[in-house]
Amino acid sequence: MRDLLVNYLESLAILDSRYTALTCINYQPGAPKIGFFSLVFRAHDTVEDVPVALKFYDPDVSMDPYRLSAFDREPAILQKVIGQRRCLQLIMPMQTHSWQYDPTLVIPTKYFAVNWIDGEVDEIFQNQDRYDSIDKLRWFIDILTAVEALHRNGIFHRDIKPDNMRFYLAHGRRIVVLIDMGTAARADTVPIIADYAHPVGHQLYAAPEAWCGLAGHRDVANCSDFYALGCVVYELFNRDFFGAEIRRNPRYGPVLAAIAVDVAGKPRDKRVQAWKQTVMHFRHAVIPPSIDGAGSSVHPSVSSLLNDLLHKLVKFDFVERARSFDWIRDRAVRAITTLENVRMQERALERRAVQKQNRLAKLALRSQKSQGAVGRKKGFKC
């Protein structure tokens, strides 16, 4: 069904008298699909005369009630941030296109439209060597600000990762926006399902509590976003995923399992309290990896500062986790200032070294000239 829908939509001259030039960007027949809920198409909006992203529900997961409900919820969440800077903008609410599957069968197909954003933040993570530490920390601050924009509106993304970020330039300034709100949730809404056995977003960015039956609890969802920010700052300076690295700790799996057995077995309204009681015995059992380990590109001058930032963001117990945007931003700015000072000192030392070499070269030239002059005088006397 997925292949048929993609081929059908891409063959249309115009969709619903509005959208042209549809091209699927997260799936091509015969290749792996990117993402879970949606088929995403770039298209041209002839009404607004701008490029847009059209999100269609993937018919190959049509029997999954959770994913279908999450897809319905996404444009409703985006309604909350219309006109809000640094937030993905809804262009057209949920529509139903009548897909003429064959002469006798019409399939109603859901889709909605959001603004198209060209810049891919994931490129920064894939090509780390092209960016110095100051650039990376400035990117982190922009990502942090994008998360802050959602939280300010009572929305938790719950699937923060590099390929769910885009950016554009406005008046010379870079604006990062979080996209793919399929797993996002509002603080004032009830969960779609009663029990969450697994995290709702990418497992390598999932916080410990999301593995222990708390993925659907709104009062801890913001904590999970901060954990993902810790993963992001780690991966700006390291090739491996933070989630993969921490899983190599032999204690991580057994500790998660021990807590999950106790927490997930409790009634839903008792689970947060059960977590707080059980985690007391385990909160310091798993030491997270350091940001300046083997292969890291962190400058030694900021390794201590950035390790403190990372370890407070990825605290095993969400109660202890850093959750102040101002505090996190302040640590990143301090690191940038330190690196700028180090850079100035290094440049000053380089200038002094060049000046010293120039002085030595002048002295050597002067000495050569002096010796040459003495030689000429002796030759004249002879």
pLDDT tens, 147-188?
A: 999 999 999 999 999 999 999 999 999 999 999 998 999 988
Residue with more model confidence, 282 or 381: 282
Nearest to 334 by CA among 297, 298, 310, 309: 309
With b meaning 16 or more CB within 10 Å and e meaning fewer, what string describes 298-333?
Answer: bbeebbebbbebbbbbbbbbbeebbbebeebeebbe
Residue 37 has pLDDT above 90, yes or no: no
- Alpha carbon 86 to its chain's center: 14
pLDDT grade, residue 376 (50/70/90)?
low
- Taking every pair of Cα atoms in the chain, the longest distance, rounded to a whole number of angstroms, is 119
Q: Is residue 162 part of a domain?
A: yes
Residue 87: is it exposed, middle or buried by C-beta count within 10 angstroms (0-12/13-18/19+)?
buried
The domain of 249 spans 119-338
Q: What is the predicted pLDDT for the residue at 197?
A: 80
Say if residue 78 is in the same domain as residue 214.
no
DSSP 177: E
Q: Is residue 64 part of a domain?
A: yes
Residue 380 has pLDDT above 80, yes or no: no
- For 109, the token pair is 């197909």
**Helical residues (DSSP H) of the chain, grouped into ranges:** 2-11, 65-79, 122-126, 133-152, 218-235, 242-247, 252-264, 271-278, 303-313, 325-381
Residue 381 has pLDDT above 70, yes or no: no
Q: Are 210 and 200 in contact (CB under 8 A)?
A: yes
- Residue 235 CA to residue 205 CA, distance in Å, equals 11
Q: Is residue 375 part of a domain?
A: no
pLDDT grade, residue 319 (50/70/90)?
very high
Instruction: Tell me the per-residue pLDDT of 45-57, one tens digit each, with 9 for 90 and over.
Output: 999 999 999 999 9
Nearest to 54 by CA among 5, 99, 133, 116: 116
Choose one of 100, 115, 130: the last residue of a domain.
115
Say if residue 138 is in the same domain as residue 91.
no
Q: Is residue 365 part of a domain?
A: no
Q: What is the predicted pLDDT for the residue at 374?
A: 64
pLDDT grade, residue 93 (50/70/90)?
very high
Query: Which neighbouring-strand residues pair with 97?
Result: 109
Q: Is residue 353 part of a domain?
A: no
Residue 375 has pLDDT above 80, yes or no: no
The reported pTM is: 0.89
Say if residue 143 is in the same domain as residue 103.
no
Q: Provide the residue count of the chain.
A: 382
Say if residue 304 is in the same domain as residue 242.
yes
- Residue 274 CA to residue 269 CA, distance in Å, equals 10
- Residue 221 CA to residue 236 CA, distance in Å, equals 23
Residue 351 has pLDDT above 70, yes or no: yes
Instruction: Tell me the per-residue pLDDT of 201-216, one tens digit each, with 9 for 90 and over.
Output: 999 999 999 999 998 8
Mean pLDDT, to the nearest integer, of 196-203?
89
Q: Provide the total of helices (H) and of strands (E) in the chain, helices listed first.
A: 10, 10
- For 75, the token pair is 């444009």
- Residue 179 CA to residue 206 CA, distance in Å, equals 17
Q: Is residue 103 part of a domain?
A: yes
Residue 347 has pLDDT above 90, yes or no: no
Q: Are 6 and 25 in contact (CB under 8 A)?
A: no
pLDDT grade, residue 22 (50/70/90)?
very high
Say if residue 217 is in the same domain as residue 103.
no
Average of per-residue pLDDT values in the chain: 91
Find the range with the poorest average confidence among 64-73, 243-252, 355-364. 355-364
Q: What is the predicted pLDDT for the residue at 344?
A: 82
| CA dihedral sign, ordered 29, 34, 39, 45 | negative
Mean pLDDT, to the nearest integer, of 95-103?
91
Domain count for the chain: 2
